[in-house]
Structure 1
Amino acid sequence: MTNLNIQKFDTFDIFFEKRIFPRFLIFSYLGLFLAVLYLPFDYSFYKNTPYLVGALVLRCIAIFFAIMVVLAVKLDSFANKRVIAVTTFGTLGYAVLTISYVSYDAPSFFVMYNWFFYLVATMMLGALMTKKIFIIMESFQISIVILLMLYFSKSSEDIFLYCMVSFSLVFYVYAVVALNRKNGEESYANAHRMYIISSTDGLSGLLNRRTWYEKCEFFFQKMDNISFIMLDIDFFKKINDTYGHDTGDVVIKEVSNILVEQTRDKDILGRLGGEEFGIFLLNSTLEEILKIAQRIKDKIQETTIIHNVNSINITISIGISLKNENTKTLLELIKQADINLYEAKQTGRNKIVF
């Protein structure tokens, strides 16, 4: 049982964006640099032709889309739609340059050079590029070029050469894209599995002690309205001695399930060791804290655990602490809850002390 509300892992896109886009950003800057660099080249190439104004306007539009690609990679405002934004702006920039090259009688190899750069960018996106996006983009690109070539009556040799080279490359790059996506999905699944293994307790499915402390320490340093519930299963050693450790494991799992059910998404749950559990609460009033603690205690007390024909009823003891001006460290917060938990166990168990 893994509580996904407390055990967060990057989504597929975010996982690979962190790994791919730092390098892709450099490539994006290169694309922008080349787009700007060719502005004076276009002027020189077209200055004695009637195409000058149109070519420069289209070049400036292409530069705009190159800038948008850089911004899409860098800015948080494009989060969750970064890949679509990058591919859309890149495709539009490519289309504008293609229109310029085909419409204004640039050498045919300009079109191919432009497309090669575009395909390299496509492959650099790696696992983020889906087959669906690739097919849509490339169909759009090839269709535009062929239609423009036909419209401007380009030679049949140029059209044939473009089709032969482009279709061959598209099939090759499609295979690369599909393989990258498949490998990416496998890598992501493995990384997710290893993350779960390394950060959760194998029996309870809650955060293990190390990961729980790391998460709580982060929020302890950032926030003031913090509280902590520490709970312990009463007479757990007796359960193990009487019914066996396999039954004890079932009890741990059942208590963990109840903790997940009775707490909120923002609460940080962990198994701190043996039969001890910790709940780190953020931005909670004392009334809310006591309500959660009481709800957990009541639910566990009224739950009958059945294992190997044995029916077992258990109780828990709870200690609560709240961060105040005298609480300097997370360990002090935990220690105070531990003291209150000890008092609860020494004064009869099955109670809450704060």
Structure 2
Amino acid sequence: MTGALRAPGFPEQEVRARAREGAGRVFPPPESYGNSVWGAGAHVTPPVASDAIDDMRIVPPVFMPRRLEALIELGREPLYTDVALDTDLGGFRSPLPLFVTALGSTQVASATLGSAVSRQAGRLGLPMVIGENVVPAIGFGRTDPDLDVSLLTRVRAYLKELPDGRGGVVVQQSTEDADAEVWNLVYSDPTVRPLLESGRLAFELKLGQGAKPGLGGMTLLDASSAPAVADRFAIDAVLDDGSGRALRSASPGTFTEEILRQQVRLMRNNYPRARTWVKLHPGRDVAHAAQVAWAAGADAVTVDGAEGGTGWAPLAFLDHVGLPLAECLAKISAGPGCLLASGRMWEG
């Protein structure tokens, strides 16, 4: 787990413990029950460093008319086990109003987290997005099934754990993915057929991301390998000569209202059995773009706030470009379709 994937000061061992122990980790240590007072001494788990969101106080009301409605319906006092959080999410059924947002092709996503997150998302039945550039940068995995970081490997890991009727896989596409015909590969592959036949496959058209509104994908390459892709990408020696690295920049793609409408219609016509998602960067016209996507028939629109920046981008973009997620949501407020938010739930 890298520092970029946890809140500043949040111990790595606590992140791993929460993932490993699950619900039990939200309670005090079991050995303290009945023989200690919370906060009384060293036997209590030391406080964990947290960010402002973790530090927020949640304040329930005294009067709960909705609880009374549930009491009358159940004929008894409601318990926490009576709470249902099942949600229709972009055309999929999710046990929680949550989805796993895009993980792309960088080392932390592929070598460290890709398959592990896929297995866990499948086990929970949460919809999962596979991010951009996995196929162009790593591989599809049809002819090399042992390639443990490919797109199909993530799908297989997800399917192995997925309960019936829950979740779904969303495959994101950028300009490079379009050149590699990623959606055609996925739509026709036997591995993906169970998702397709059960209505649990979606394609997401990526217009941008929170880390770098208006920019395309940026990746550091070994300087020796950069010339091989110079005909498809912009290559810049932005680091000193001793780094051995070069910056590879892709096109963000060109979109107008009509281009977006036609792209969504093309997706619906060419892949009729797949759901249609659109991902927006936090631009000043994000509300209008969302309305255009919904009107064209998108099943879901995802907005990535400026705090969602985890990619390689100029510091000026990470610090000063794009709207905060809360401002994006306030601008969009409500729409005719499913609105999803990614970035800054706990960290970027």
TM-score using structure 2 length: 0.19
**Richer in strand (by share):** 2
The structure whose RCO (Cα within 8 Å, separation 6+) is larger is 1
Higher-Rg member (1/2): 1
